[in-house]
Each structure stands twice: as structure tokens, then as C-alpha cells.
Amino acid sequence: MKITNANSLWALALLPTLLGGCTSTLDVYEFYGDPGIENVEFSGLNAYFQHTNPKISGVNVLMIHGMGGYANSDHSTVPVDLVEDRLGLRRKSDPYFKRIRDSNGSIIGSLETTLYNSSSTDRKIAFNVMYWSQSTWNLKWQLALRDNSDEWMTRNRLKNMNRVKQDLLNWNVSDVLLYLGQKNQSIDAAVSGALQQMVDDPKQDFSNRPLLIISFSQGSFIVAHVLEKMRRYGPTKQRSTARTVQSQVCKIFMLSNQIPLLDLALPIKPSKSQGSDLESLTVNARPDFGATASEQVSVPLTAMSDTPLFNTKNNNLCFDEPKIVAISDPNDVLSYSFSDYFKEEDPKTYIDVLISIAKTEYRIPLTTPGNGIVNPIDAHTGYGTNSKVLDLIVDGASVKRGAQPKSR
């Protein structure tokens, strides 16, 4: 989520403070995973990059944004230059772009790739930054224009409230509605096209490199479900691409996981007593994914809501669990627990990490700590620049479950 003018919403959130509040500091840093294990351990990017398996030539990384675009100024989920310094990388090439176009030739997305070499070994790494926000720009522009053209509303609307509506709703939340509604084909096409370009890039050698995904907000939901749609509904080449990506994923870092919220729009998962009846209802392959008549298949109506996000079976490129690390600020109102929602999955494949992204609690005078509010924009958009989040992505973690590790 990218808020171009956060001051307006910030002013609303801080109304009690503006009237004379006080503050306290928040410092949550806890890990929760499989209840059957005492310690929580997972590897980060550095372990995969330095791994000594001679069959692995390097690592590929994919970043995908959420609603509204990237929150960071360098347009990435986490600043690539910070990761570059931490891993001791040497840039091999300037970023190169692959534009994704629709059938009319309009740009709906892009993939920006930068190649690096290790400064001490022959290992290579490719950072792929995916953009899909171009696919919804025209529709959101029309919404914003109509809203601003309503003279009766705008004449009587406060200036800061107009900024809140434009920046938060018209240019950000609208992405969620577009994807969950009937106009999601352009987003699907942008993401599937970028995935295709990434896998087809000979410089990335997808035959023997693990893939690590860093997704933000709505992006986690989109990349998981587009991959599954490609695998089920796409023509032969798209199905092959989806299988390649799903089998190569060794780790996905979900920043501000929204899947439990967005999953409400999917068909209801069947209970054991309902399963046979619901599973008998089928739908044909969606034509917007390009499958020919001979390639189309019928799939259960409930299949999308019952499908694992990624292939959680370890392949020869992955050497540790868990696969999914969901990082949340407990005060980020747009983030949800992963493990509580996916209890039916193998608990060894995921872990929840709670981190205070927004560290300042603002309270009304005379109230006790724990009864205040945080800046909601900071809580949702500050993951990519938080040092502890970067530590987890680069170095992983090894801590007692529910314990607070020592700060670096």
C-alpha cells in the first residue's frame, strides 16, 4: 500500500494527541509456529546465497507490491541497496525492464531485474521487482476524476478529508475491490506475464536456483492465486511456468499478511459433511487465462479456497523449514495471523513473527499504556525499512517460541 500524502489520515489518528496526549514506546518482537517444537528456526537469504551445494548456482528473488504500489521510495518491498550491502554483492548489470502489455498494446505491468555477483564466491543472485499497479491505473483515475468532479461533494468536503479519500480509497483500497470483483483480468494478466518473463529469462537459470519471494500486503494473495489460476486454467506454457515457480519456491516472506481477509471473497471451504456435495459443483476454465477449448478443464468450485498457497514439499533446492514466514505488526489493522488461519496446513511450513513496526503509542492524558493508538500508516507501510524485518529476511532466526530475541 502506498499513501502519497499520509499527513491527512495521520491527523485523524492523532486527534487525541493533538488535544494533549502522551506517548509510550512499543517493542513487540515474538515468534509463533508449530506448537510441538521448542525452538523456531528458519534460514534467510544469506543462507541460501552462501549454501555450498555445487548444483545450485545462486538465488532468485521476487518482490511484489500490494494495493496502490510500493511503499518504499526505491519502489521495492525491501530496499535492494540495503540487502546488497548486507550480502556483500557486486552489481553485474544495470536494472533491465520487461514491459507487460495487454492485447491492445497498453502497458499493464512490468518486471525490473538486477543481477549481482558475490564479492567472494561465484554465486549469483537476481532481484526481480514486479509491478502490476499499471493494470488498474486507468480505472482508478476515472474514479478519482469522477469524485473530484462532483462539485456538491468537493465544495463541502474538508481539504484534508478530500486527500484521505483520494489517497486511501480512490488510489489504494480500490485495487482490492478491483481484484476481488469482476475486473481482475488485467491484474492477473500483468502478474502472470511478469512471472512468465522471469522464468524465461536465461540469465536467471531457473533450472537450479531456489526462489525466495518477498510479498507485501495484497501482493501475497495475488501472487499465490495467480499462480494457481495459471496452473489450472492457463494454456500449456502458463501451466508449465506455474509449476516451475511453485516447485522452486523455498521461502516466502509475507509482510502484512492479508490472506485471511481477502480469502473471504472466495467460495466457502466445505466441511467434512458437505464436501462431497460441494466438490461435485464445477466451473470451466476461465477464458481470460487463454486456455484453448482442448486445454480447458473443469475444476471444483471450492478448489481455489482449498489449495495450498505453494508447494510446501521440500525439493532438492530447499534445505529448511518453514516455507512461509508471515511478519506482522500486531497494531497493523490490515495484517492477520497466518498460523491461526491455516491450522489445517502442516505447521512446520509456516511461522508468525510479531514486530512493532509503529513503535509510538499515542494516548489520551490519564490513560494507561495499552489503551492508545499508533499511526496506522506507519504500522502498515514501514515493514520494508524496519531493521528487524531486514535481519529476518537476510539472516533468518533461531529463537525460543514466543520469546523475544536479543536486539542487534
Q: How far apart are CA 280 and CA 185, in angstroms?
A: 26
- CA angle (75, 76, 79) in 5-degree steps: 110
SS3 sequence of 50-71: HCCCCCCCEEEEEEECECCECC
Q: Which long-range contacts (CB under 8 A, 24 or more apart) does 289-296 make?
A: 289/188, 289/192, 289/229, 289/230, 289/233, 289/234, 289/235, 289/238, 290/234, 290/235, 290/238, 291/233, 291/234, 291/235, 292/235, 295/235, 295/236, 296/233
Report yes or no on 406 lying in a domain.
Answer: no
Phi then psi for residue 265, to 5 deg, are -80, -10
CB 251, CB 48: distance < 8 Å: yes
pLDDT value at residue 191: 93
Q: Helices (H) and strands (E) in the chain — how many of each? A: 15, 16
Q: Which spans in 37-136 are helix H?
A: 45-50, 80-87
Domain count, the chain: 1
Q: Specify which residues 398 forms β-bridges with.
A: 41
281 φ/ψ sector (left φ>0, alpha ψ -120 to 50, else beta): beta
The three-state secondary structure class of 390 is helix
In the block, residue with C-alpha cell 481484484: 179
pLDDT value at residue 393: 93
Q: How far apart are CA 297 and CA 213, in angstroms?
A: 29
pLDDT tens string 126-144: 999 999 988 988 888 888 8
Would you give the DSSP letter of residue 338?
S
pLDDT value at residue 309: 52
The residue type of 340 is D
Report yes or no on 390 lying in a domain.
Answer: yes
Report yes or no on 408 lying in a domain.
Answer: no
Phi then psi for residue 58, to 5 deg, are 170, -155
The three-state secondary structure class of 170 is helix
Report yes or no on 1 lying in a domain.
Answer: no
Pairing of strands 397-400, 58-64: unpaired
Contacts of 406 (CB under 8 A, 6+ apart): none
Contacts of 381 (CB under 8 A, 6+ apart): 1, 2, 3, 6, 71
Cell matching residue 345: 496446513
Q: How far apart are CA 408 and CA 395, in angstroms?
A: 12
Pairing of strands 39-42, 397-400: antiparallel
Phi then psi for residue 178, to 5 deg, are -65, -40
CB 226, CB 188: distance < 8 Å: yes
Q: State the residue range of the domain holding 41.
A: 7-267+279-400
Over its C-alpha atoms, the chain yields an Rg (Å, rounded) of 22
| Cis status, amide bond into 347, omega within 30 of 0 | no
pLDDT value at residue 216: 92
Report yes or no on 272 lying in a domain.
Answer: no
The residue type of 162 is N
pLDDT value at residue 327: 94
pLDDT value at residue 96: 92
Closest by CA position to 350, among listed 338, 360, 362, 358: 338
Report yes or no on 50 lying in a domain.
Answer: yes
Report yes or no on 369 lying in a domain.
Answer: yes
pLDDT one digit per residue (tens) for the chain, 408 residues = 444 444 545 555 544 444 445 677 888 888 887 666 667 788 899 888 877 677 778 899 999 998 888 766 555 667 787 888 888 888 888 899 999 998 889 899 999 999 998 877 778 899 999 999 889 888 888 888 888 888 888 788 888 788 878 877 888 888 888 888 877 888 999 999 999 999 999 999 887 889 999 999 999 889 988 988 888 888 888 989 998 898 888 899 999 988 888 887 766 544 444 333 333 333 333 444 554 444 444 444 334 444 455 554 546 778 777 788 999 999 998 898 876 666 555 666 788 899 999 988 887 766 677 778 888 888 888 898 898 999 999 999 887 655 555 443
Report yes or no on 323 lying in a domain.
Answer: yes
